[in-house]
Structures are given as C-alpha cells and as structure tokens.
Structure 1
Amino acid sequence: TGTDSPCSLSFPGVLSRAPVACPNGWVAFQGQCYYFSVTEGNWTYSRSNCSALGTSLAGIDTQQDMDFMLRYRGHRDHWLGLQKDTNQLWRWVNGTEFNSW
C-alpha cells in the first residue's frame, strides 16, 4: 500500500494575473499545474510516475502552497518531492535545501 502523489509543472514566465493553461485533469495554482494521482505506490514509484508525465513530485515552497494542497486534497497522505541526501539533509528533488515555510 502507499499514498497517491501530486506532480507539478512550473510555468516561471507566467504572471500571477494570467490564466495558466494546464493539461486536462491538472489543477492550476499560482503559475503551476498540479496533478493529483489516484494511483497508490511508494515514493520511488510515485516519482517515476511523475517523471513519465514529464514532471516531478510537487515541492512546497510557501505556506500558500501548503494551504492549497490541504484545501484541494484534504489531509490525505501524499508523496512530495522531498528526500534526505547523503548528509541526512532534507532536499527537494530540484536540489534545493528544505527550509520551513
């Protein structure tokens, strides 16, 4: 058993006022598109599933991001793009170090 996973696509050049055109079945929030998978699996499987969609497991950069995730999917368990590196530091899959928001 496992948890479903949110994937995210980033559109860095999009202004916050401009609508984001997300693929069918994805949800737009602050210039990014999120896909909430209903397929269950472990973290590695979920990361591979997102990779197959051309994206990565979602990262949470701000409290607003966290609030969006909780509002949209509730308090269900989801895999995020956060992992421990060889020095036991938490890092997002894009390589940035985790800092509490």
Structure 2
Amino acid sequence: MRGTTVSSPGLLLLLLAPRQADSEPQLPRASSSRQLADCRAGSASGSQQLFPAPGERFRRHPVGTAVLILLLLVLVLALGAAVAVLAGKGGAAAWAVLGCPRDWIGYNGVCYYFSRDFSTWEQGQERCSELGASLAIAKDEEAMDLLSRLCGNFGYWLGLRRRGERLHWGDGSSYSSRVPVLDNSECVYLADERFKSGNCSSERPYVCSKAQAPL
C-alpha cells in the first residue's frame, strides 16, 4: 500500500504545528515560577518584620518588657486588695498579699489575721503573740473601716481594753477615736460594724495584726 501524499500547504502546517510547539523551550513559564517564589519570600520577610515572634520582641526590648510585667503584677495585687475590702462583708476571707504570711490580709503596711477558733481576750492575745503579732490595733478610721467590713456580723476581739476609766490599745496608747465604744465593759470586740465591750472571759474569734514585712 502506498503512502498518502499531502499536497495542501495549509494541512501541512497544521500537522507540523504541535511538534514545533513541543520543541520550543518554556522560558516564560520558568521565569513566572521564579517571580512567584521571590514574591512569596518577600511577603514572608515583610510579615516577620511587621509581626515579630514574642521571643524576638523580648530580645529587642528586654527592659520595656520587664517593666510591663512588673506593672501588671502591681495592678493584679491592687485589684486583689480592693476585692478583699469590697467583698469582705461575708466574713474574714483571706487574700494573699506580698509581705504578709499565708491566710493573712495586707492593707496599708499592716497584716491582719482573722482567727477561726474562739478564745477569751487574754488567750487571743497569747495566740497572736505566738504568731509574732498582737490583738489588732486600729487607730485610724481607714483601718477601722477595713476591719468592720471584714468582720461582718461576727464579734472579733480587738487589742483594745479598758484600764480604769479610759480605753487603751495593746501598745499602751490611749483610745482617741471619735467612734464610740458601746457599753462599759472591760474588753472590746468588733461586731455589726460597731465597737462593743464585753466580759473578757467570753470566748470569741479574734483579730491579730502586725507590721507588713519589707519587700
């Protein structure tokens, strides 16, 4: 059988066109791939510059980061003290404060401890002494207001006692507040946001106080 002869020039070009296309190098396509890769690399580099990793940010600004952490810590402690004061009406809820032992409440440089056990006034003084403290002394109105809020309805012994006709704190200083002390008994306790006096041999919970340790 003889081969077929193609005499039409147009048909000949159509048959040869795919082979010529396959034989040509694909330069434009390779160039486009390189451009796309360069673009992605550039975008990644720009993102790293705009949004550095946390570790890289700390290495660049160590002092600023440390100051920010310290400020946040102080803010948390301040909020904790505020919550303890505002929410303390329900009882002597303990709040951890730097410079005060565990289960003590710190305020204005003084640590306070609200007992869970009951004792006479003298026994409360002895137990506070074992903790390196004394029955609570609250000479200013801010301290009195704090203790009133935290004591709630319970009657807590304070470090205030009648000596003769006058009331004296445990450190020997005279009671000079305008806040009245109800009744004329010897030992003073705090209940219902009022100072009251009662028999020293009665058993009540007690409040201890001592200076806050330096930080």
Question: Do both share a fold (TM > 0.5)?
Answer: yes
After superposition, the Cα gap between the structure-2 partners of 1:20 and 1:31, relative to the gap in structure 1 and judged at 3 Å, is farther
* Deviation readout 1:7-62 (Å, 9 max, x if unpaired): xxxxxxxxxxxx75101110001110001011101101101110111110001111
Which one scores higher on RCO, CA 8 angstroms, separation ≥ 6?
Answer: 1
Which residue of 1 is the match for residue 162 of structure 2? 84
What amino acid is aligned across from residue 173 of structure 2 in structure 1?
T
Distance in 1 separating the partners of 2:119 and 2:139: 24
* Deviation readout 1:69-90 (Å, 9 max, x if unpaired): 12222131010001122x3321
C-alpha contact (below 8 Å) 1:20/1:31 kept by paired residues:
no
Give RMSD over aligned pairs. Answer: 1.8
C-alpha contact (below 8 Å) 1:56/1:93 kept by paired residues:
yes
What amino acid is aligned across from residue 34 of structure 1 in structure 2?
Y
Compare CA radii of gyration and give the structure with the larger one. Answer: 2
Which residue of 2 is the match for residue 10 of structure 1? none
What amino acid is aligned across from residue 172 of structure 2 in structure 1?
G
What amino acid is aligned across from residue 94 of structure 1 in structure 2?
D
Which residue of 1 is the match for residue 171 of structure 2? 94
C-alpha contact (below 8 Å) 1:20/1:32 kept by paired residues:
no
C-alpha contact (below 8 Å) 1:26/1:34 kept by paired residues:
yes
Q: Percent identical across equivalent pairs?
A: 34
- Count residues with an aligned counterpart: 83
Kindly state the Cα deviation for residue 99 of structure 1 after the two structures are TM-superposed: 0.7
Deviating 4+ runs (over 2 angstroms): none
Q: Is there any run of 5+ residues in structure 2 with no aligned partner, and where?
A: 1-91, 179-215
What amino acid is aligned across from residue 122 of structure 2 in structure 1?
T
Greater helix proportion? 2
TM-score by length of 2: 0.36
